[in-house]
Amino acid sequence: MATIRITTTLEEQMIVLTALRPMLGQVVSVSKIADAAKLNKNRVRFILVDLVDTGQIKRVPVRLFNNRYIRYKYELEG
């Protein structure tokens, strides 16, 4: 089976971190973060995953609507 690999740049990660700082501790959607960062919301979704994987931010589930729709808040690590 083929594997799709999306790589994000350090510059994109810094843009998302800068846009995310005022929203820390709040429950926000990925599209709201994307609007603040002025990036595509699908791209921001992958950038957030990379930031969580590298330990720069922590994704905390806040509201569970169903198994596929979960609302998160983001916190800075360290």
Cα R_g (the chain), whole angstroms: 13
Task: Say what the pTM is.
Answer: 0.86
Residue-range domain boundaries for the chain: 10-76
pLDDT of res. 5: 84
What does the pLDDT look like over 12-36, one tens digit per residue? Answer: 999 999 999 998 878 888 999 999 9
State how far the alpha carbon of 5 is from the alpha carbons of 2, 16, 33, 46, 50, in Å: 10, 20, 22, 10, 12
CB 18 within 8 A of CB 45: no
The CATH class for the domain spanning 10-76 reads mainly alpha
SS (H, E, C) 6-72: CCCCHHHHHHHHHHHHHHCCCECCHHHHHHHHCCCHHHHHHHHHHHHHCCCEEEEEEEECCCCCEEE
